[in-house]
Amino acid sequence: MRTARKGSVEMPAFVRQLVKETEKRVSSFFKGGRGGASDGEQPGEGEKEEVIPSPYLDRPVLDKLTEEGCARWGLTYALGSMQGWRANMEDFHNCVPQLGGELAEWSFFAVFDGHAGSTVAQYCSQHLLGHILATAGIGPEDNPEKVKGAITEGFMQTDKHLHSVARREGWERGGTTVVSTLISPYYIYFANCGDSRAMLCRSGQVCFSTEDHKPYSPLEKERIESAGGSVSLQRINGSLAVSRALGDFSYKGAENRTPGQQMVSPEPEVCVVERSPTDEFLVLACDGVWDTISNEELCAFIHNRLQVCTDLRDVCTQVIDLCLYKGSLDNISIILLCFPGAPQLSAEALHQEAELEDLLESKVAEIYDELSASGEEPDLLSVLTVLASTIIPGLPPGGGIQSKRNCIISAYYHQRETHMPTVPNELGSS
């Protein structure tokens, strides 16, 4: 059984090398047209070029924070998070596999995706659970209606207390989305406030997922406009990209309207699903994951990875890498919860994985030799481009060629070292 462990995992050196080789292209993409004169134009004499800080870095921060643990009733979990291309890390989390006391068989997990700073996300990660439990609506009787009410009230109280702190500390601009789950012996409770998302996989299929709260969704848009706001560029007043969040008090000043009727509502959407022996795993993740992969793809990918990986932290890091390689520009955070019915290590799946990696290594060698023979310099991007257009059987479902990028990069550098000309060592000769 896994025991709780925390730590940081560094990205392999060959991946850092890939970033180094591509950073100029990416940097040019990010910075093009962001403030200042357009291409080919120079500021006139006496004019000052306006510099708008980019929300993106020249190269992504690839170091990962990981954590794993278990509950005595059979749940195992892992967390993985990475700053990525964003200029700041604004994600936080809370993992409580056992609540203790008469709720020792209950678990709570949440992902907080901050915006306009990390302060609000950090505050809520430390106080939300306490406010939920303080409602006294959660007890051994496990009454779904009472529990749902307690969760909603906990969110509202967190926002109320946060408002007092924000006015005192000057946090009015910051906010955070929240996606959380409260697991009891009989039910799984989901609470979503914003565009992070939870997904439950049962018998290899997506059984349930939360709905994202976006300003352009009909009911959300109606509330925003009724509170005196507008939706343009798919954002509230052309600025905020989520319609529900804790914090964001500059969007919560409409008079004669309840907190849940403001432009940005702190009220979560709470759903309950009865537990089943066929429950496999549950995912909580910020939109840095969901912007690049669908529910069905992620369900298939994790289901496959659990058959070849015993370390849940490794599965989380593979999901993060997959999202990065598929183009995610956001912070990326994921919590993976595995129930007793989760897929187990499979000898057949391990054999297929080994065959796939052997095939990829041979393909990389073949492409490298072909490019060399044609007089081209077989740089990594050229090899990746050719390989991406090649039909490769047996790729992980839901992951595709991007999910084996690290294997491909490793194979490429092996080829480069193999083809590197040997320089005679004449040191020490008289």
Rounded average pLDDT over 163-179: 89
pLDDT of residue 169: 84
pLDDT, mean over the chain: 88
Cβ contact 50:34 at 8 Å: no
Structure token digits, residue 235: 């954002």
**Structural domains in the chain?**
5-15+55-338 (3.60.40.10), 347-418 (1.10.10.430)
Average pLDDT over residues 27-44: 38
Q: How far is CA 351 from CA 90, 163, 319, in A?
A: 40, 55, 21
- Asked if 191 contacts 151 with a C-beta cutoff of 8 angstroms, the reply is yes
> Is residue 318 predicted with pLDDT exceeding 80?
yes
Quote the tokens at residue 295.
């529910």
Strands 205-209 and 197-202 come out as: antiparallel
Question: For the residues 398-408, what does the mean pLDDT come to?
Answer: 95
pLDDT above 50 for 67: yes
Distance CA 120, CA 123 (A): 5
Alpha helices in 138-270 (DSSP H): 144-169, 218-226
Q: What's the pTM value of the predicted model, to 2 decimals? A: 0.87
Mean pLDDT computed over 18-44: 40
The pLDDT of residue 59 is 95
Query: Which burial class, exposed, middle or buried, applies to 50 when counting CB atoms under 10 A from its CB (0-12, 13-18, 19+)?
Result: exposed
Residue 25 has pLDDT above 90, yes or no: no
Phi, psi of 190 (to 5 degrees): -115, 135
pLDDT of residue 86: 97
pLDDT at 9 over 70: no
User: How does DSSP classify residue 235?
Assistant: E
**CA–CA gap between residue 213 and residue 194 (Å, rounded):** 5
CA nearest to 307, candidates 275, 274, 353, 359: 353
Q: What is the reported pLDDT for 15? A: 47
Confidence of residue 254 (pLDDT cuts 50, 70, 90): very high
Mean pLDDT of 256-279: 97
Secondary structure of residue 411 in the 3-state scheme: helix
pLDDT of residue 13: 46
pLDDT computed for residue 14 by the predictor: 44
pLDDT given at position 184: 97
- Residue range 57-67: average pLDDT? 96
pLDDT of residue 49: 53
Q: Tell me the average pLDDT across 318-325.
A: 97
Distance CA 72, CA 74 (A): 5
Q: Given this model, what pLDDT does residue 34 score?
A: 33
Mean pLDDT value across residues 247-256: 94
The per-residue pLDDT for range 229-251, each reduced to its tens digit, is 999 999 999 999 999 999 999 99
Task: Tell me if 271 sits within 8 A of 189, measured CB to CB.
Answer: yes
Strands (E) across 87-173 are located at: 91-96, 107-115
Higher pLDDT, 4 or 94: 94
Handedness of CA 116, 118, 119, 124 (dihedral sign): positive
Instruction: Give the pLDDT confidence score for residue 170 in this predicted structure.
Output: 76
The residue ranking higher by pLDDT, 36 or 73, is 73
Phi, psi of 22 (to 5 degrees): -105, -5
The Cα–Cα gap between 305 and 316 comes to 10
Mean pLDDT of 11-38: 41
Check residue 50 and give its pLDDT.
Answer: 57
Q: Crossing angle of helices 295-305/312-325, nearest 10°?
A: 140
Task: Tell the residue number behind the tokens 């870095």, with chain if given.
Answer: 57
Quick one: pLDDT at residue 51?
A: 63
How confident is residue 33, by pLDDT bands cut at 50, 70 and 90?
Answer: very low
Please write down the long-range contacts of 382-386, taking CB distance under 8 Å and 24 or more positions apart: 383/408, 383/412, 384/408, 384/412
Beginning with the edge strand found earlier in the chain, give each strand of the sheet holding 205-209 in spatial order: 5-9, 56-70, 76-86, 332-338, 279-285, 197-202, 205-209
For residues 41 and 94, give the distance between their C-alpha atoms in angstroms, rounded to a whole number: 49
Q: What is the pLDDT of residues 199-213, one digit of tens each?
A: 999 999 999 999 999
* Tokens standing for residue 234: 């798919």
- Rounded CA separation 151/265 (Å): 15
| Nearest by Cα to 338 from 378, 309, 373, 363 | 309
Given a cut of 70, is residue 131 above it in pLDDT?
Answer: yes
pLDDT at 31 over 60: no
Distance CA 177, CA 189 (A): 17
CA dihedral of residues 388, 392, 396, 401 (deg, nearest 10): -10
- The confidence score (pLDDT) of residue 28 equals 37
